[in-house]
Each structure stands twice: as structure tokens, then as C-alpha cells.
């Protein structure tokens, strides 16, 4: 089977999701692997977990491309009785390289938030926080072709997302009409006061905490603002993987590229 070097694959990944566009706090790019090792099969996933590493080994992948970095925060030990050490050792022993495309993939024109927006059928898309061009940046805001009641919109959103224990949580009147939609794939409570969020009818994101969400809703009663919808972080970002695989496959036609179907949402059930 034909192959590329890991260096060549990384260069191609950078054509799509330039590491230099990642947030300053982020840790994207190559975390594990020899730049000269051959790559014949890449597995795409949201997270690096024990299940995902096992899947990569089973499929014969020699590259694991994930959205979330393996080593995002400071690590002072790779001992195998630690979570990160155990995962890193498993990848190294299996000769599987690992690359992350995180906020650099969020920023891209066909990135994480854009994928959600396209699946919702939103028009006239703009980023919430512009990047290097008008078409790139964090989050998206756009308009539905036809307004929908908030409940109907939430049901439509639920249909495009993979099922998770947390489901889709909504704060707002069920009958409120939704036309303009702001969204941010991943954790987006830092954008609750973004001007494009404030002028939307609904804001869709993940990991909304009690106090920021409650304070935002109380402020909306005074000065206006969107309804809030909280969705699974994993589910929102998993939608991007198929598009990422297609883009990568067009540039690297001689290697196998597969997308993991494993649900790595940390919440398993609710009672």
C-alpha cells in the first residue's frame, strides 16, 4: 500500500487547518510520532481515549487525528499509572502517531461550527469572532430560511446530532420564534456577551454552566438576548469528522482514512 511520511501528512493537515491559527492556549499539531515514519491509514476521532486507541490498533491505523489534544494541559509525568501516560505509552507501543486539530479546525471556513450551521441549513453565515478572513473564525451566526418555534428548532437540532445521555437542553419559551441562530461548537459560555450572540434569537453551544447561563438569561430579560440551547460537546464536534475525512482524503488519496463511530461523550446514562 502506498504511503506518505508523517511529515508530509502533517503538512497537508496544516493546509486545511493551519496550526498557526490556533488559540494561544491551545496545544495542536503533532504530539506523538516520528516525522519520517510512514502513514498508510489515519483514524479520525474527537477524543484520545482508551477505546479510541484500541480501535486505531484494531483497524491497523498508524495515525490518530483527533479534534481534542492529548496533552492540552501541563503534564509532569508520563508514568503508566496516569491517564495521559497510559494513553501515550499505548500509542507509542503500537507505533501510532497522534495529531490534534482543535481551535485551528474551529476557525476554518469548513470547520466545526460551520459544519453544524450547514446541517441546520443556515444562510448568510458569519463568524462570531472573525479570524484572518471574513469567512473564518470562531463560531457562526446565520439565518434559517423559515422561522421556527424554539421547540421545533430544538427538535431539528436533536435530529442532526448523535444521541447522547444529556440530550438537548433548552432555556427559553417553547413558542418563541427562531430566525437568527448563533452557535459555537464546543464550550462557548465565554461568548455569551458577544454582540452577534446577543442579537440572535437562540445561541447553541456546549458545557453551559449554571451561573453564566442564569446570569445571561436574567440580563436578557432586561436588555434582550437569545434563548439558550446546551448540547453535548462530543456530539457537536463529531459532526465535523466526516467533512474533515473527505477534505483530507482529497489531498491524500493514497492512504486509508476512516472515522471512528465510538461515542466518547463522558456521560453514559441518566436516571
Helix residue ranges, H only, 82-209? 83-93, 103-107, 112-120, 150-160, 195-198
Domain match, 13 and 73 both: yes
Segment 180-196, tens digit of pLDDT: 999 999 999 999 999 99
28 and 14 part of one domain:
yes
Domain span at 72: 4-104
pLDDT in tens, 137-163: 999 999 999 999 999 999 999 999 999
State how beta strands 129-130 and 123-126 pair. Answer: unpaired
Residue 2: the pLDDT is 61
Nearest residue to 129 via CA among 111, 145, 147: 111
Residue 31 sits in a domain of what CATH number?
3.40.1390.30
Residue 122: per-residue pLDDT: 98
Q: Is residue 264 a part of any domain in this protein?
A: no
Give the number of domains in the chain: 2
Distance CA 152, CA 242 (A): 26
Specify the DSSP class assigned to residue 152.
H
- 69 plus 119 within the same structural domain: no
Write the pLDDT tens digit of every residue in 83-122.
Answer: 999 999 999 999 999 999 999 999 999 999 999 999 999 9
Residue 268 forms part of a structural domain: no
What is the rounded CA–CA span in Å between residue 220 and residue 260?
A: 40
Q: What is the pLDDT of residues 211-244, one digit of tens each?
A: 999 999 999 999 999 999 999 999 999 999 999 9
Taking residues 117-138, report their average pLDDT: 92
Amino acid at each position: 500500500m502506498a504511503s506518505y511520511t508523517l511529515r508530509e501528512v502533517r503538512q497537508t493537515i496544516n493546509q486545511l487547518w493551519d496550526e498557526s491559527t490556533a488559540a494561544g492556549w491551545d496545544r495542536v499539531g503533532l504530539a506523538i510520532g516520528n516525522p519520517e515514519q510512514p502513514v498508510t491509514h489515519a483514524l479520525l476521532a474527537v477524543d484520545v481515549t482508551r477505546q479510541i486507541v484500541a480501535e486505531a490498533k484494531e483497524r491497523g491505523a498508524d495515525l490518530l487525528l483527533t479534534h481534542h489534544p492529548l496533552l492540552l494541559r501541563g503534564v509532569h509525568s508520563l508514568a503508566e499509572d496516569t491517564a495521559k501516560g497510559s494513553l501515550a505509552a499505548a500509542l507509542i507501543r503500537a507505533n501510532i502517531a497522534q495529531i490534534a486539530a482543535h481551535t485551528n479546525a474551529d476557525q476554518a471556513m469548513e470547520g466545526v461550527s460551520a459544519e453544524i450551521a450547514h446541517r441546520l441549513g443556515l444562510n448568510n453565515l458569519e463568524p462570531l469572532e472573525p479570524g484572518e478572513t471574513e469567512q473564518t473564525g470562531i463560531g457562526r451566526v446565520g439565518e434559517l430560511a423559515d422561522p421556527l418555534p424554539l421547540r421545533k428548532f430544538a427538535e431539528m437540532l436533536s435530529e442532526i446530532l448523535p444521541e447522547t445521555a444529556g440530550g438537548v437542553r433548552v432555556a427559553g419559551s417553547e413558542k418563541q420564534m427562531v430566525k437568527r441562530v448563533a452557535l459555537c461548537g464546543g464550550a462557548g459560555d465565554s461568548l455569551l456577551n458577544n454582540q452577534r450572540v446577543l442579537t440572535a434569537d437562540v445561541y447553541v453551544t456546549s458545557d453551559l454552566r449554571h451561573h453564566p447561563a442564569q446570569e445571561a438569561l436574567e440580563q436578557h430579560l432586561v436588555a434582550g438576548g437569545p434563548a439558550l440551547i446546551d448540547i453535548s460537546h462530543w456530539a457537536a464536534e463529531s459532526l465535523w469528522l466526516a467533512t474533515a475525512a473527505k477534505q483530507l482524503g482529497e489531498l491524500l488519496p493514497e492512504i486509508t482514512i476512516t472515522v471512528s463511530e465510538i461515542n466518547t461523550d463522558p456521560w453514559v446514562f441518566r436516571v
